[in-house]
Amino acid sequence: MSETISNQLPAVPSDLTPGWLGFKLGHRIKSIENTRNIWGTGSKLFYTITYEEESSSERPTHVCVKGVFDPRMIEAQPWTVSLAQREADFFSKIAPTLKSMVFPKGWWSSTSYKQGITVMEDLTQSGCTFAPEVASYSVEKVKNGVQQLAGLHAQYWGQNQDGHPWIWNNYDPAMTFMCSFWDEIVRVPGRPQIPKYLMDGTRCNAALKRYYAERNPRFRTLLHGDTHIGNVYFTADERIGFLDWSAFHFGSCFHDIVYHMTAMLSVEDRRAHEMEILDHYLETLHRLGGPRFDRHNDPEVMIEYRRSFMTNVIWLIVPDGLQSPERVAVLCERTVAAYDDHKVLDIILNAAERE
């Protein structure tokens, strides 16, 4: 990933000039107006474009340019660059091939040694809306979400990193590192209260390690990887789309499903309808070209499904500042309820009962 003069990518907002953007989009641009910004580990800069001349070809007038535009952040948190690079890779290498999933339209993307840039549609201009910090949604809405995920999963079913060596697993190491601070994080004053059995960092980390090591290869596919409420949007026709493609990797299909379901549904609705949602996912997966699974007569399906709730571990130990306290509190409550209902640690550690 060498950076040359011809491939230099903007490092700060002032580098995003009409000339640079016009060259990448293939049209001469008269001017651009920066209308708003959303700053974070991956910042989003929004622009309205005025072109030099009219054209009959498709081109955007409102774009979101995503990348890392703060050199101080790169110096303090260099891992943010890899996230921007990963998302740019998604839009250049995977998005053009996806057939049955809703995600933002990408206009251009590329990576360099120290940056990843994606120019995508400004979803607000297409009538899309976004989830608030705390919310719960209907069963039908979540069924649409798992239907979108089935489209991704079916297309990459049974594949792995051997066939796509550039898709390295950046998710498991990140989670393993964050969970290494378990005991001190869960005891920080003001953190959500969790049951005693989830205060045991040694046991919880053992379960996480075994979950990663023992995922059933029968259910392996390409994952979005981070399907929580903050990474979805709603189209004008009420479908769910998925944002933030910086964590895609190969893993168990149920990772995406249970993570999405737990975040989007109230505890009561998840308890009452999760099998209905799971069945909808399995049926859609098969309809779109994936395998047929029968959760009633194939015990491995439900074992893998229940084990996959370990994915929600992030809401128990997410460091302060990465998500709002309000969102952490609600999603921690939903995660604990799912752990209790499915005896997640016990099924992973083969324990007869909680310690």
How far is 332 from 317, CA to CA, in rounded Å? 9
Residue 96 domain-assigned (yes or no): yes
What pLDDT, on the 0 to 100 scale, is given for residue 279?
Answer: 98
- Domain span at 334: 127-349
Would you say residue 175 lies in a domain? yes
105: which strand partners?
none
Within a domain: residue 31? Answer: yes
pLDDT of residue 7: 60
Q: Is residue 244 part of a domain?
A: yes
Residues contacting 14, CB < 8 A, separation 6+? none
Mark whether 148 and 114 lie in a shared domain. Answer: no
pLDDT for 5 equals 41
Place of tokens 């005896």: 343
Backbone dihedral region for residue 289 (phi beyond 0: left; psi -120 to 50: alpha; all else: beta): left
172, 180 in Cβ contact below 8 A?
no
Domain assignment present for 354: no
Q: How many residues does the chain have?
A: 355
From 71, 101, 125, the end of a domain falls on: 125
Q: pLDDT of 225-242, one tens digit each?
A: 999 999 999 999 999 999
Same domain, 88 and 67: yes
CATH classification at residue 25: 3.30.200.20
- Tell me, yes or no, whether 111 and 248 share the same domain: no
> What is the CATH number for 293?
3.90.1200.10
Query: Based on the structure, what is the number of domains in the chain?
Result: 2
10 located within any domain: yes
Q: Cα-Cα-Cα-Cα dihedral of 227, 231, 235, 240, to 10°? A: 10
Query: Which of 106, 125, 144 corresponds to the end of one domain?
Result: 125
Give domain status of residue 53, yes or no: yes
**CB of 225 within 8 A of CB of 171?**
yes
The answer to whether residue 19 is domain-embedded is yes
Position 1 scores a pLDDT of: 41
Single residue among 68, 103, 125 that ends a domain in this structure: 125
Three-state secondary structure readout of the chain: CCCCHHHCCCCCHHHCCHHHHHHHHCCCEEEEEEEEEECCCCEEEEEEEEECCCCCCCCCCEEEEEECCCHHHHHHCCHHHHHHHHHHHHHHHHHHHCCCCCCCCEEEEEEECCEEEEEEECHHHHCCEECCCCCCCCHHHHHHHHHHHHHHHHHCCCCCCCCCCCCCCCHHHHHHHHHCCHHHHCCCCCCCCCCHHHCCHHHHHHHHHHHHHCCCHHHEEEECCCCCHHHEEECCCCCEEECCCCCCEEEEHHHHHHHHHHHHCCHHHHHHHHHHHHHHHHHHHHHCCCCCCCCCCCHHHHHHHHHHHHHHHHHHHCCECCECHHHHHHHHHHHHHHHHHHCHHHHHHCCCCCC
Q: Which phi and psi angles does 192 have, rounded to 5°?
A: -60, 140
Closest CA to 128 of 107, 104, 161, 159: 104
Low-confidence ranges of the chain (pLDDT < 50): 1-6, 352-355
Amino acid at 57: S
